[in-house]
Amino acid sequence: MFDDALVEGAHVVQNIIKEYELISGQQVNFDKSFIYFSACVGHSERDTITNVFGVRVATNPEKYLRLPMMVGRNKRRAFADFVDRFRRRIESWSFRYLSMGGKEVLIKAILQVIPVYVMQCFALPKTLCQKLELIMNKFWWSNNKSSKVIMAAKIGSYPSFTWRSLCNARELISDGLLWRIGSGDSVNIWNDPWLPGLAGAPDVLVWHFDASGEYSVKSGYRALLTTHRYPSDYNMEPIASYKQFYNLLWELQIPAKLKIHMWRLSKDFVPHFNNLLKRRLQVVNVCPLCKEAPEDLGHLLWSCDVLRHLWLSLNLPFDCSVRTLDGKNQLMNIFIKVDADTRKLLVISLWATWFQRNKVVHEGTQFVWQDLVGFVKRLCFCFKCE
């Protein structure tokens, strides 16, 4: 209850409370009640009003159900405890073992729900909302709990020439660093680039553009020249279709793990045999499903005969018999042109094919064509694909 710090007002409030007790049959417990005065109220007025109610004086505003009972001008201080609880909730999770789909579920089901209770009572400041969003962004993109200070630092408003030069080279350095796994405590095997190392040894970052694993200006310059001389498929993509592809992908009404898998495929972030060979792992680079060609990104997205036959059996409305060396852009162009149901079928078929491939590689099961087709059709029925 709020009132002016006057004796007359205190008696009016007291009469209201007595009338409430008489009508409702309930009583106010003044032993658990507090009164809080603003800074401009004198000590004599405080003592008089406190004697009228017979309650204790609170020097600091109390919290009720973990919410501040009073919010003054310093809103940042009033909600500081809420931000700390939000951050501690994330720090209690062992997210090194979470896939990106699992992170998305935790963000949507837990983190984005936590502020709802507070926002039912208070209009949170924009700066506080931005701080909560920043915490969620760090959780989404972080790979482990070790902080990468230089790689995450901002250039600033008036940077020196040296600092600006270091910041301009960060992209090259981040592309060339990978982990050599020893104990595995510092590495997220799902998201971090890595190589096998000595068991029990500490995890170390190495520079993969040099055989010694150590970065030098010479090796960095050579890597930079090679990147510009032979541009990657990512740099060759037209910007308009690239953005349109991802906008259409995230709009699909299917589980997040399927969309994230499609995104990882388009970025070549999946551990197919060709990527494992680049990391010097001893594997036989042959597709475990069709057993006819090396397993690389273009094969997974377009060239695999098993995938082509699957698309034919699903009667997808495009010509999948076209042979191309750029399977990624071929699939992107088709994805943009077809309707939403066909896009669902494309994403489901690619995820189901990768799922069956992993069962063959990691569980040693026998690949059966009918099982793959039945699996895809069951998924299409669950997700209401026509």
pLDDT for 230 equals: 42
> Can you say how many angstroms the Cα of residue 207 is from the centroid of all Cα atoms in its chain?
27
Range of 32-36, 157-161, 162-166, 167-171 with top mean pLDDT: 32-36
> How far apart are the C-alpha atoms of 199 and 181, rounded to whole Å?
8
Report how many helices (DSSP H) and strands (DSSP E) the chain contains, helices first: 20, 7
**Mean pLDDT calculated for residue range 345-373:** 92
Residue with tokens 């993509």: 237
Nearest Cα to 2, choosing from 74, 61, 44? 61
> Residue 3: pLDDT band by 50, 70, 90 thresholds?
low
> How far apart are the C-alpha atoms of 219 and 210, rounded to whole Å?
6
Q: Is the dihedral of CA 39, 41, 44, 48 positive or negative?
A: negative
With vertex at residue 46, the alpha carbon angle to CA 41 and CA 50, rounded to the nearest 5 degrees, is 150
> How far apart are the C-alpha atoms of 58 and 69, rounded to whole Å?
12
pLDDT for 350 equals: 95
- The CB-side HSE value for 259 (13 A sphere, CA atoms) comes to 16
> How far apart are the C-alpha atoms of 350 and 357, rounded to whole Å?
10
Per-residue model confidence as pLDDT tens digits over 258-317: 999 999 999 888 999 998 888 878 788 999 999 989 999 989 988 899 998 999 898 888
For the chain, give the percent of residues with pLDDT over 70: 83
DSSP strands (E only) in the chain: 34-35, 56-57, 63-64, 67-68, 177-181, 194-196, 204-207
Evaluate if residue 62 carries a pLDDT over 70: no
β 177-181/67-68 pair status: unpaired
pLDDT for 57 equals: 77
Nearest Cα to 273, choosing from 186, 191, 362? 362
In the chain, the largest separation of any two C-alpha atoms, in whole Å, equals 93
pLDDT for 96 equals: 61
β 67-68/63-64 pair status: antiparallel
Read off φ and ψ for residue 335, nearest 5 degrees: -60, -40
Q: Is the dihedral of CA 105, 110, 111, 116 positive or negative?
A: positive
Evaluate if residue 147 carries a pLDDT over 50: no
Nearest Cα to 242, choosing from 217, 212, 272, 266? 266
To 10 degrees, what angle do helices 305-313 and 369-382 make? 50
Does residue 153 or residue 44 have the better pLDDT? 44
Neighbour-count burial of 43, counting CB atoms closer than 10 A to its CB (0-12 exposed, 13-18 middle, 19+ buried): exposed
Q: What residue spans of 107-255 are helical by DSSP H?
A: 114-119, 126-141, 149-152, 161-168, 170-176, 217-229, 233-236, 239-251
Contact 383, 254 (CB under 8 A): yes
Nearest Cα to 57, choosing from 77, 81, 41? 41
Alpha-carbon dihedral angle through residues 314, 318, 322, 328, given to the nearest 10 degrees: -90
> How far apart are the C-alpha atoms of 223 and 229, rounded to whole Å?
10
Strands of 177-181's sheet in order across? 194-196, 177-181, 204-207
Nearest Cα to 187, choosing from 206, 214, 160? 206
Contact 183, 201 (CB under 8 A): yes
**Mean pLDDT calculated for residue range 60-89:** 74
In 10 A of CB 235, how many CB atoms?
A: 9
Evaluate if residue 363 carries a pLDDT over 50: yes
Return mean pLDDT, the chain: 80
